[in-house]
A and B are shown apart, each in its own frame.
Chain A
Amino acid sequence: MVKILVIDDEELARFTIREVLESKGYSVLEAGDGEKGIEIFHSEHIDLIITDIIMPKKEGVETIIELRKEAPDLKIIAISGGGRTRNLDFLKLAGEYGANKVIAKPFSATDLLSAVQECLE
């Protein structure tokens, strides 16, 4: 079964994404920040990571940089609402630093599932 790790500091965001992915048969693990996410990555076999950008402790671009060093072939999707200013520059930077797909929040379940399927193909 494909295992997806969702890294987002917002519990509601993780819950929503989990619901969408599990409805399609994916197995989902969660982490509240990049530090925890990397910890889980080291202890589980993960097929794909969906990571938010603005997070405490270790934010999304840092997480992507570090994951890419360890696992160049790992599939990564970056998501972000850009904070109060809707700043999507960091999402763009996430793509440049190695995210396979970037999606701006809010996104639909269809958008998310399309991105996941494209990454896993």
Chain B
Amino acid sequence: MNEPSDVKQQFDSFFADRSATSKGRVFVLDLSPVKDVLGDRWEKLKQQVYLTTSDVVLHRIQPTDIHCRWDDERYLVAFGALDQARGRIKISLIAQEITQRLLGSTDQDKAIKISMATTDENGEFSWDKDAAPSKLAVEKTLPKAPIKNEQTKEKPDAVGRDGIDFVFRPLWFVKNKIISSYFCIPVRDKGDGHFLSGYDILNDPQDPHAITALDLLTMKRIHKEALALEDTKMPALLAVPIHFESIASGGRRSTLIDQCKKNLGPHRNKIVIELTNLPEGIPQSRLQDFIQILKPFSRSVMARFSSGHRDFAGFKHVGLHAVGIDLYGDRREESKIIQSLEGFVENASKLGLHTYAHGVRSISLTTAAICAGIDYVDGYAISDVHEGARDIKHYSIRMPYASKYSADEPSHE
């Protein structure tokens, strides 16, 4: 931990440059839920907790950001070049990763809490060198992210763009031990450090126009990210979800195709499309239609199903590269999830399909997924793919343990 005067100097400098806009950029990570879970073991294990926390923060911040451990249970992180909305996303992802690495799959009430540090009545961030940590002014909870309540049937507004952002989950090709692609996931900040994703971010999840609008927004984000990647020469692929509702109806489909041409076509070799929300029992011929529509804009097409899905007959022949599941919102006991993994993979792989799993949120699920034979497993979400440029692209089965337990490497290879 830095000496207080060094930290004061860093934060003084930070706010001197940006005092007019500093509010909403200093976040507090509260580790007290971890302390509560560990109980008597906190004193023995807290150095490991700090190591893991610092590792995650250092890995995620940019040179324009600063951070420090404020006291026994709190870290401060200040983002120098992000607006409040992006800062909220980033700090939430940081908190999620720290929580998952320390506590594995856990309930939200046990997750690390985040809050914003505020300024005083003069609008200045005051810093008292001798102040006790408890005197740091914090808002107890993050103010709720703006959520647009109205929704129209006009495509650009139907999704309520305010508050929607995107995160990227790296997908690890287990056999080759590399990160192969980054899945773009639209999210909405709930205001408590957690995200809504998928249909949950829509005001009306049943509205097909809203779903299509969401897909179009996502494609625009992918386009932007692909352009940034071209500048960096990174070899990563980008995966974009397209919902069944966007492609099933003739009218929405033609709008979708126009946007695919504009946003995906120029980057075809870097794009993987994931079809989502396909109805159970979708005929092979229908799936083939969809794949033929989307294939010109991508290097491959994958499709997401429920973990209970078993009938994959003919899917390989119609051009589907992989089938997958999303465990992010699956709150069943891990033992039940592990059981369903094996059945899913067995049925898919015997028909020649690759398999992938999103939202694999613990080491126990990662191990089970790999031993079940899942080909692609995802990792911790990041806010921009170029942030992943600092990640090791090679990724082996040791990485989750090395990440969670920091410096504890095995004694020999």
Contact = CB atoms under 8 A, between A and B. Distances in A.
A84 B372 contact: yes
A97 B408 CA distance: 9
Interface in B391-408: 397-398, 401, 404-405, 408
A83 interface: yes
Interface in A45-96: 53-59, 61-62, 65, 69-70, 82-85, 87, 89-90, 93, 96
A9 interface: yes
B10 interface: no
Contacts, number: 77
Given A54-B338, A58-B104, A84-B342, A97 B368 contact: no
Nearest to B404: A62
A59 B364 contact: yes
B209 to A, nearest CB: 40
A62 B371 contact: no
A33 B105 CA distance: 14
Contacts of A82: 371
A90 B364 contact: no
Q: Give the one of B334, B367, B373, B397 with max A CB within 10 A.
A: B367
Contact of B370 (A62, A87, A96): A87
B373 A62 contact: no
B47 to A, nearest CB: 11
Contacts of A84: 342, 345-346, 371-373
Summarize B's interface: helix, strand, loop or mixed. helix
Contacts of A34: 364
Interface residues of A, number: 26
B2 interface: no
Contacts of B408: 65, 69
Interface in B54-110: 104-105
B307 to A, nearest CB: 14
Contact of A59 (B44, B363, B372, B412): B363
B177 to A, nearest CB: 11
Given A53-B371, A56-B338, A93-B397, 19 more contacts: A53-B367, A54-B371, A57-B104, A58-B104, A59-B367, A59-B368, A62-B363, A62-B364, A62-B404, A65-B401, A69-B408, A83-B371, A83-B372, A84-B342, A84-B371, A90-B367, A93-B401, A96-B411, A98-B411
Interface of A: 9, 33-34, 53-59, 61-62, 65, 69-70, 82-85, 87, 89-90, 93, 96-98
6 contacts: A54-B367, A54-B368, A55-B364, A83-B370, A85-B370, A85-B371
